[in-house]
Structure 1
Amino acid sequence: MISFAITVFLSAFLLFQIQPIIAKMILPWFGGSSSVWSTCLVFFQAGLLLGYLYVHLLHEWLSPRRQNVVHCALLLLSLATLPVIPDDALKGAAFASPTLNVLLVLASAVGMPYVLLSTTGPLMQAWYARSFASLMPYRLYALSNLASMLALLSYPLLVEPYLVDREQALIWSGAYVLFVVACFASTWQSWKGVSGERERTAAATATDPRPAVGECLIWVGLAMTASLLLLALTRHLTQDVAPVPFLWVLPLSIYLLSFILCFDAPRYYYRPGFLLALPLAFVAIDRVLDGAGMPVPMLVSVLSVSLFVICMVCHGELVRRRPPVRHLTLFYLMLSIGGALGGSFVGLVAPALFNAYFELPIGLFLCALLVVIVLWRELRPLWRGLVVAALVAYTCRLTAISIGYVEDYRRVLRNFYGQLRVAEVNEPPLGIRRSIVHGRINHGEQFIGEAHRREPTAYYCRQSGIGQLLQSLADGPPLHIGIVGLGTGTLAAYGRRGDEMRIYEINEQVLELARQDFSYLADSAARIVPVLGDGRLMLEADPDQNFDVLVVDAFSGDSIPTHLLTIEAIRTYLRQMKPDGVLAVHITNRYLDLRPVLAGAARHFGMKALAVELDPDDDDRFCRHSLWVLLARPERAEALRRSLDNAGKLAPRPGFALWTDGFSNLIGILK
């Protein structure tokens, strides 16, 4: 048992430790979008499905010792794919088809080791059950989920803060070699454990009736629902807060915790209690979807507890319906099919099919429906009527929420980079105010009437840090301005005749909206040069631009992607600027305090950082709260400090570690 337990534990730990490692490594290649993690999860679940299918076919078609030989041969082949470091040559094609390219990068970097790791849990359980005629293998599954959860939780707490990405990948590759050695030891135990008598015992268990198709569909449905809601709720967190590893691994850890509790000891699934808690979880999620403002700790807690209740119900019902050990591999195959279907629906189908985030209401409806189906035979006629009435009422509520996603918006668009909505509000006497909303975050606005259409607004108004900076340069020679992140194109309002504004934007739908629904670009006196692609990668590829001002204003949800704030990124910005140029970074954020990041970077490059925070009056229609950081050479920074309102020196935080492409830690800057 010890040999099998060590192999299962190590494989599961590595299986889930590689997920945040590799996802964080490729996140900058795709603009820091929260969709990168959703697409990664699709790949991971597809890898699990392929691994479980391999185990099921191996278990059904080959004798135990032939299984040993085939699996050991594949393990040896997988060593040739190490180390698990993505090839930089794949960066170039990232934007042609980002979803497909995420999958291709993952397949080339970790494909074979990941699939073989995914086979270990069910394969070791099948070998253990066949060799030793024991009913213990289901507890090995709980052990594997415990290892998975430990791997995920240890990453943001013990791995990410202390090791750069490349070191993480190299250490993981070394640990994979140890796993192969452990797996060979377990294979040898299985080889010795097989005897004619035991094989006859195993054959005798084949008389257990094969599960019905309807039962298999229920297994698939329960697993799919839990997976679908895991990804949908994770997307909600990472888009509206930040696409960071901690918010990736927390929901996935909760998902795995429910597996551990349900499979290790079914008594942990206290059915009456969790079934009563399920409607409360639906109500809590409803409050979040309804736009109730919550501090980030409360928001994370509400969604986490709700996800835990939903996963406990889905996985608890799965355990109640698990088959005899003879059909163990079929059971796990159905679970992996359900997980892959749920992940694919959120990560692949929904962005292509829907223009809004309808997958979360759909997942909640499926969860409620499946619970009704599972309980139907146990309910008395009166309760059946009440349950159906409750399901109909909840369906109507979810339909109303879904309609609210698109109702009363001028435009609603969606692609890999998220959902964009164009909203309009009449604000007398100024008239119609039109804005772009990404998720729940306002990414720019404009008054449409002729009297105010050229007036910069929101985070870019004349009193903001960037507004004051550009106005202070208005009496000088023509400017060459670089802008990373377009939004509505508000900064074009500051453009003068002779100025050139080179604007980098990763999402072509944003450029489409800025041209068709807003007029800042068309009205600007400056020459506007749009460049499609990730701002940092495009700046790295561009010839020297000699910008007078370079503005970094690219947001994914409520946060600037981390790869735009590293030392390497800022070095690229400075290379594209004049020696006396100013780097202006927009860091307005509800949840993260990015000032230490930029203060540390300024000191690293021998520059000074100024923070310009604007907190306008409630009756100010043109300005929103904003925080800008301006980086410049010391003498230039001092002159700016004297000429700008509310400009204060930004001192580095003692002991704060600089962000690099290989290291960034967002837990240390949570507000």
Structure 2
Amino acid sequence: MVGKILLPYLGGVPAVWTICMLFFQFALLAGYVYAEKSVRYLGCQRQSILHLLLMTGAFTLLPLDINTSGAGAAVNSPTGWLIARLAGSIGILFFMISANAPLLQRYYSETGQNDSADPYFLYAASNVGSLLALLLYPFAFEPLLRLSQQRVLWSALYVVQTLLVLTCCMLLWKNSGKNKAGAVAANALNGAPARSAESEVSAAGNCESISCKANQVDCSSGVADIDAFIESLAKEEQQEELRAHDHTRPTWKTAFYWCLLGFVPCSAMLSVTTHMATDIASAPMLWVIPLALYLVSFIMVFARGDYWRRIRWERYMFPMVVLAMMFYKFRIVERTWLTIPLHLLAMFLVCMYFHGRLAADRPPVAQLNSYFVWMSAGGILGGIFNGLLAPMMFSTQSEYILTLLAAAFLCSFMATSYYDPEYTLARRIVVCALFMSFLLLPGWLKEENLSKLLSESGMFMTFMSLLLIYVFNSFRKAAAPLLIIIALTAFLQSSADPRLVLVDRSFFGILRVTRLANDGEVVDPDLKIEGVKDIFYCLSHGTTLHGVERKVDNMRMSYPLAYYAREGPVGSVFRVGQINRAFKNIGIVGLGCGTLAWYGRAWQSFDFFEIDPKVVEIATNPDYFTFLHNSKASIRHIIGDARVSLQNVPDNFYDLLIIDAYSSDAVPVHLMTLEAVELYRAKIKHDGLLLFHISSRFFKLSPVLKRICDELEIASLRSFDDPSTYSTRYDWYDFDQLCRSDWIAAGNPQHLESLKLYARWDEVAPASGYSLWTDDYANLLQVYLWR
């Protein structure tokens, strides 16, 4: 919910989800540290009172309110702005909630129940609650409740949780007092030492033990004196337990081991989340799957019984990790329906293996809080690595490959061999020689298309690795050199790809500039011209194509391609705008490679609103794209979120406002709400026009805009463009570089009538059955293309 509220101010990018996860992990760690320290020095009885007071004091922060001030400057320091908003709104509340899991387990261990010595099953129960909330939000809360209602509901649930914690504390006070009093009384009357399970170690060496004092009791003095003495003994015993805790802290080696086991699955989960969000859509609804699997792994391994912990997950994890690396790096199969489940399965098996080892190594109750602190510290390091370090260190999503490599390495050296025969030198030589032959294969064959050959050899190496691991179990230790060779080959494949011109990365995603043909080669044989070298440059953000330019010599002009063909919808709009020079001031939300600047004339002014400064750097570099450089219009770049930046533009300023920020697979919902369209209409003149680019592989967006336009009483038309239906094929176009596109025009009826008469624009289908999207409510499930 909080991520959805803040998502609009940073363009709906996957990194927002990663930073939110990182913040909540820090808050979780802080809550665990608070639980560990407070119980250590106060004991469960007094600590429970403190915890209740703090939870009740947090009521002053309710109802939940997210402060979004300073959103205009968010683009300059998106990470800092996002963390500040999270800390100032939900930070303290989540801090208190996060401490409940270890504290309630610790409280339960003091109740004297039959299973109180192993309360870790309660951690599985807490993750069941987290999983239910995670799944209910996109399928129940988000479609049915507005954001304002969700905030009120969350605040009410916080109050309910506080009351439930109060109930648990009352049971603690009741049962813990009875158990301790009964134990001390029995020991006092029988002359036996009064020790709890946790204080047994420290009390053994204490000459002033509680048992010594218990023997001094005169039982004939009456029950009242015994009760008073028992109460004093209980207090002394509690102090003995607190001192005993100092001797039950984990060693640094154990703490590092717990931290490492927490780091790898968390990093894998965040890496897969970024990969999915880049390849599918910018919506929290679709980002919950990796986190759900992450929680399921905790539930399974910490549940009562050891069935899931006894499974040898490494046998399944290792081959799936290798396959995931091959599919991700070599792009063996481009089908999303196959690759996404493969990566999710690999991530789940990584989580099951490492979380299973964590659960198997869980310590006694005395170290419970420390155990969760170090586990959470590992998650923090995973969040820092993926959310902060990786974007600065890597220009691609290399953190995913590195995480999978780390998982496979640790699996190779931590897992026990099934037969464990001697790993002889001869076997090492055979294995290394086999792997090196694959690495040197391209040089031996002198294949011109190195990229293709490396991909094929990578596939072969993958299946060979599975053969070695499954058939020769003794080759377990060969997994590490095998993975080194595969990783090196994968990175060589990337660097050897002659089509890749530039790879750059920012907070907002990964940008690639790719050549679709080499010098001297052309895509379409019909376009061969003597002495002309034809190259097509394309800009992509993740898997979303943002524009294509034909790079030729100065003898021929470059024309707009991709979604922006002159014969397409956008070309027809600009032709209408040429009449009487109707479109003088033009605003464009979303820069891409600047293709729309091609339509600019000397008497026109173009304002491009772009949230990612890296996109502006690439689009304005004539070595990559020349649309902006060669445009005759006056060009201005406004960096920042469009809705925030447009508020600084005077009303009735633009003749034409183009919204081109949710093409292909990215859907920033905040740019397609009732309030957003009202803002757009306020910024265009009374006879102006709005143009929406709504092409999407996963969402049917035309009913959303139709519903909004009907609500605002704005006339609208739609044009779905398919270049294969063009009646004329022009010699300056390569039709393989034109894309199907979907556009909606809204505004001045006179302009719309011209589009309807002289171009392929039609009425938009009625959308009476669709919800009205507002800043407070949007239903993505309703427009998802279930296919």
TM-score (normalised: structure 1): 0.92
How far did 1:556 drift?
A: 8.4
Match of 2:237 in 1: none
- For each residue in 1:94-113, what CA deviation from the matched residue of structure 2 results, as whole angstroms up to 9, or x when unmatched? 12200111111001110011
| 2:351 is the alignment partner of 1:338 | no
Match of 1:24 in 2: 4
> Match of 1:629, SS?
strand
> Match of 2:511, SS?
strand
| 2:573 is the alignment partner of 1:469 | yes
| 2:415 is the alignment partner of 1:415 | no
From 522, 530, 544, the counterpart of 1:441: 544
Q: What is the total number of aligned residue pairs between the two structures? A: 650
Match of 1:381 in 2: 422
Match of 1:637 in 2: 752
Range that drifts further, 143-152 or 232-241: 232-241
- For each residue in 1:418-452, what CA deviation from the matched residue of structure 2 results, as whole angstroms up to 9, or x when unmatched? 11122223352461211222112221121222245
- For each residue in 1:555-588, what CA deviation from the matched residue of structure 2 results, as whole angstroms up to 9, or x when unmatched? 4883131111111111111111122322111122
Q: Distance in 2 between matches of 1:232 and 1:452?
A: 44
Match of 1:215 in 2: 254
From 125, 136, 142, the counterpart of 2:105: 125
Match of 1:541 in 2: 648
Match of 2:610 in 1: 505
Q: Which amino acid aligns with 1:396?
A: I
Range that drifts further, 450-459 or 518-527: 450-459
How far did 1:253 drift?
A: 0.9
How far did 1:457 drift?
A: 1.3
Is the CA contact 1:166–1:662 (under 8 Å) kept in the aligned structure 2? yes
| 2:166 is the alignment partner of 1:184 | yes
From 125, 128, 149, the counterpart of 1:167: 149
From 624, 635, 658, the counterpart of 1:551: 658
> Match of 1:559, SS?
coil
| 2:237 is the alignment partner of 1:242 | no
Is the CA contact 1:51–1:116 (under 8 Å) kept in the aligned structure 2? yes
Q: Which amino acid aligns with 1:173?
A: S
Q: Distance in 2 between matches of 1:406 and 1:173?
A: 51
Match of 2:762 in 1: 648
From 197, 204, 208, the counterpart of 2:199: 204
| 2:23 is the alignment partner of 1:43 | yes
Q: Distance in 2 between matches of 1:166 and 1:245?
A: 17
From 521, 527, 539, the counterpart of 2:634: 527
Match of 1:16 in 2: none
Match of 1:68 in 2: 48
Q: 1:337 to 1:205 in 2, by over 3 A?
A: farther
| 2:482 is the alignment partner of 1:393 | yes
- Give me the identity figure in percent: 32
- For each residue in 1:308-366, what CA deviation from the matched residue of structure 2 results, as whole angstroms up to 9, or x when unmatched? 22211121121122222222112111110111111111111111222221110011011
Q: Distance in 2 between matches of 1:658 and 1:404?
A: 48
Is the CA contact 1:274–1:312 (under 8 Å) kept in the aligned structure 2? no
Q: Which amino acid aligns with 1:150?
A: L
Q: Distance in 2 between matches of 1:476 and 1:447?
A: 31
Q: 1:311 to 1:235 in 2, by over 3 A?
A: same
Q: 1:535 to 1:70 in 2, by over 3 A?
A: same
Match of 1:494 in 2: 599
Q: 1:431 to 1:206 in 2, by over 3 A?
A: farther
> Match of 1:541, SS?
coil
How far did 1:270 drift?
A: 5.0
Match of 1:13 in 2: none
From 38, 57, 71, the counterpart of 2:37: 57
Q: Which amino acid aligns with 1:448?
A: K
Match of 1:144 in 2: 126
| 2:329 is the alignment partner of 1:225 | no
Q: 1:479 to 1:217 in 2, by over 3 A?
A: same
How far did 1:303 drift?
A: 3.1
- For each residue in 1:129-154, what CA deviation from the matched residue of structure 2 results, as whole angstroms up to 9, or x when unmatched? 13326134111111001000000000
Q: Which amino acid aligns with 1:154?
A: L
| 2:67 is the alignment partner of 1:87 | yes
Q: Which amino acid aligns with 2:257?
A: I
Q: Distance in 2 between matches of 1:272 and 1:639?
A: 69
Range that drifts further, 592-601 or 620-629: 620-629
Q: Distance in 2 between matches of 1:402 and 1:612?
A: 43
How far did 1:553 drift?
A: 1.0
Q: 1:206 to 1:78 in 2, by over 3 A?
A: farther
Q: 1:551 to 1:277 in 2, by over 3 A?
A: same
Q: Distance in 2 between matches of 1:345 and 1:185?
A: 40
TM-score (normalised: structure 2): 0.78
How far did 1:173 drift?
A: 0.6
From 593, 596, 600, the counterpart of 2:707: 600
- For each residue in 1:476-511, what CA deviation from the matched residue of structure 2 results, as whole angstroms up to 9, or x when unmatched? 315211100111111000001101111111111111
Pair member with larger Rg = 2
Q: Distance in 2 between matches of 1:90 and 1:527?
A: 29
Match of 1:480 in 2: 585
Q: Which stretches in structure 1 are left out of the alignment for 5+ residues?
A: 1-20
Q: Distance in 2 between matches of 1:529 and 1:276?
A: 55
Q: 1:361 to 1:452 in 2, by over 3 A?
A: farther
Q: Which amino acid aligns with 1:27?
A: L
Is the CA contact 1:603–1:652 (under 8 Å) kept in the aligned structure 2? no
4+ residue runs over 6 A deviation: none
> Match of 1:662, SS?
coil
Q: Which amino acid aligns with 1:495?
A: G
Q: Which stretches in structure 2 are left out of the alignment for 5+ residues?
A: 185-193, 203-246, 424-471, 523-527, 726-733
How far did 1:92 drift?
A: 3.5
Q: Distance in 1 between matches of 2:91 and 2:166?
A: 20
Is the CA contact 1:143–1:260 (under 8 Å) kept in the aligned structure 2? yes
Q: Distance in 2 between matches of 1:202 and 1:452?
A: 86
Q: Distance in 2 between matches of 1:123 and 1:452?
A: 73
How far did 1:453 drift?
A: 4.9
